[in-house]
Structure formats: C-alpha cells, structure tokens
Amino acid sequence: MESKIWLSSPHMCGKEQSFIDEAFATNWIAPLGPNVDGFENDIETYLKEDIHAAALSSGTAAIHLALQLLDVGVGDEVICQSKTFSASANPIVYLGATPIFVDSESETWNICPNTLEEAIKDRIANGKKPKAIIAVHLYGMPYKVDEIHSIAKSYDIPILEDSAEALGSTYKNRKCGTFGDISILSFNGNKIITTSGGGALVTKSKKLRDEAVFLSTQARDKAVEYLHSKIGYNYRMSNVLAGIGRGQMTVINQRVQQRRANYDYYKSNLKDIEHISFIEAPKEYFTNRWLSCILLHSENQKHQLIEHLNGFNIESRPLWKPMHQQPIFKDAPKYLNGISDDLFKKGLCLPSGSNLKDAERQRVLDAIKSFFKK
C-alpha cells in the first residue's frame, strides 16, 4: 500500500526548534514567557490595523472568552453560522446561552446576509435581541464582510469573527482576523499554521485583550493574596508551544501560497470533469485556500468518491455538516434557505497540506480521474 496522503498535516519549517530550545535553555516551561510575547507580537505585526493579540490554549478557548467579553450569559441568544465546525458554536452552550443557527449564501458558503437579517428581526419580535453574531470564514474564504457588518451595525449587535481557518486571507486588502469586534484564530494541528494546539483572541481594543489574558490566567486580582472577584480559566498558551508559533510565523506567506497552489492544481486539472465544480473567490476576496473543496453531482457520488480515494490511501472529507443537522443542536432555533444542506450533500475537501509533494498531488489527481473513468 502506498503511504497515506492526509487532508492537512502539520508542516514545520525548521526554525521552530530553536525557539523551543531557547525555552528549555532558559527554563521558560510555563504558560508565559518570551515566546508567548514574541508570538503575540508576530501576530499583531502580521495583521496590522492596530490589533492586540492574546495567545491562548485553543481557538475554542478564544471563542469561549470572546463570548464572555461580549457579555453573553445564561439565557442569552447568540446567532451562529450553521455551516461551520462545532467549535464555533459549543462555547455558546458552555455559557448557558442558546445558539440560533443561520444558513449560508452560495457565493462564499458563509452566513447569508438576507437570512441573517430575517433571523435578527424574528428573534427581536420573539422578545430577545441576540447578544452577538458568530460569522466564519469557512475554508479560508472571507464571508461577505461589508454586508454582514452593516446589518450587525444597524441592529447594534457585535460580531465575533471566527477566523480559525482564514489566517492569511484578505477582504478588500484587509486581513481576516481584523474585522470582528473580537476575532479568533486557531493553531490546531490541521490549520494553516500550527502550534500543535493553540489559538488567539485578537481585537482592536487593548482593554478587551488584557481582560482576555486576565480571564485566561485564573482571573487573579491585583493583590498579594490569591484574590478572585471573577471566575477564571487556565487558557493561556504554553511558552514551549508559542515557540513553534514563532517559527511558523516566519513562513506564513509561503504556507498561503502553497495552499493556493494546491487549489490551482486541482482546478486546472479537473475543470473538464463535468461532475466537479469549484468555488471561485469573488472580486476583492483573497482566500488562503486552507482546504481545497469541490462540489460533486450528488450525495451518492460524494460517498463513492470518498470510498474510492480511501482505497488509494488518500484522506478526503465531506464539508462541515451544518450545525442545525447535528444531534446536539436539534432543538436550537434555525433560519434556513437550503444552501448549507445542499453544500453538505455534494461537497468534499481534498488533500490540501502545504507540505504535499508533487507526486502526492499527482496521485490524488490520478485517483479522481480513475473514479470518473469507471
């Protein structure tokens, strides 16, 4: 059997090790230290726009803290894009609030402006104004930033921008991760860059950033004794792992290019297969192509292609199953238009790592072609 081709595997550049060695040499083996400060600084420099970053243990932790900083609590409602990974929505439930799921539009696959406005109006008519909106740049494709933010603004609802998959993507030349009242990034093992596990909360407000760090380090008040007036968390990033992040940030632009090259390769070589279609970036949208996605002709064909690729030891994966279809969220209110259901039926993610070798991409291509020749 030929070696396994993974969907998206970690891709080290070599510089990570020296930052880790430095942490060992200086005994900064703790959830604070020079690598944590340095990594935050790298993120801020990369995103620009006066951004302040807090490095945390995961993207999920960042969402959890962000929702609290947006004052979400028991009994509140939070609107969330339905087509996403469950980590976008789970922290709503951690806080005793209710997720309200909103469907996608077909141009970017992200939260639909019309459906969003319909949901907001209906929730307000039901007696509760949503406390926040979680919008996601799925697979690195920016959501309709102008439309979504103008609706949020007109109802005075803050946006939590889930940029876990979109580091390196831009909308109208501005980087994803800089649009939300609060934004989050993820450095999980499969993301565009990784710290093995990790995330960040990023915001233009220095006050919110400092509050996030405070909550993430057990919310210790400024006092000699261990004094707590708020419930805290142990969510800070380790200085060892932040060293990996510093190494990874030196190659972020290459990583984006390599992911985009995967997409271009698949697209140029598969475009003549009638049953496969691709999602193009609209004008002024720049996507990091975290995962290369295709749409097939039918649900059955998707299942068969996954099986077929599996037979060649190639990992592929359906698009995220919408949250409104998940057993855990079956009772959550939802505003649907059919688009995310249809995308889930037909959509597939292909191997997309920035470390894919030419021969591996060729293997994926040959396997797909052989499927359609059958």
Ligand X SMILES: *Cc1c(COP(=O)(O)O)cnc(C)c1O
Identity of the residue, 186 or 354, whose beta carbon is nearer to ligand X in the bound complex: 186
Least Å from the CB of residue 199 to ligand X: 4
Query: Binding to ligand X (CB under 6 A): which residues in 168-207?
Result: 186, 188, 199
CA distance 130 to 143: 20
Q: Does 162 bind ligand X (CB under 6 A)?
A: yes
Identity of the residue, 16 or 360, whose beta carbon is nearer to ligand X in the bound complex: 16
Binding ligand X (rule: CB under 6 A), the pick from 165, 181, 211, 360 is 165
Length of the chain: 374
Least Å from the CB of residue 165 to ligand X: 5
Least Å from the CB of residue 90 to ligand X: 9
Size of the residue set binding ligand X (CB under 6 A): 14
Identity of the residue, 7 or 365, whose beta carbon is nearer to ligand X in the bound complex: 7
Q: 279: buried, middle or exposed (CB in 10 Å: 19+, 13-18, 0-12)?
A: buried
Cβ pair 7, 292 in contact under 8 A: no
Least Å from the CB of residue 139 to ligand X: 9
Q: Does 85 bind ligand X (CB under 6 A)?
A: yes
Binding ligand X (rule: CB under 6 A), the pick from 35, 60, 239, 316 is 60
Q: 223: buried, middle or exposed (CB in 10 Å: 19+, 13-18, 0-12)?
A: exposed
Tokens describing residue 165: 């998959």
Beta-carbon contacts of residue 300 (< 8 Å; ≥ 6 apart): none
Other CB atoms within 10 Å distance of the CB of residue 282: 13
Identity of the residue, 167 or 368, whose beta carbon is nearer to ligand X in the bound complex: 167
Tokens describing residue 297: 């002709």
Least Å from the CB of residue 222 to ligand X: 30
Query: Binding to ligand X (CB under 6 A): which residues in 124-143?
Result: 136
How many Cα atoms are found within 13 Å in the side-chain-facing hemisphere of 119? 32
Cβ pair 194, 243 in contact under 8 A: no
CA separation, residue 184 to residues 82, 163, 308, 360 (Å): 17, 6, 36, 32
Residue nearest to ligand X (CB): 59
Site for ligand X, rule CB under 6 A: 58-60, 84-85, 87-88, 136, 162, 164-165, 186, 188, 199
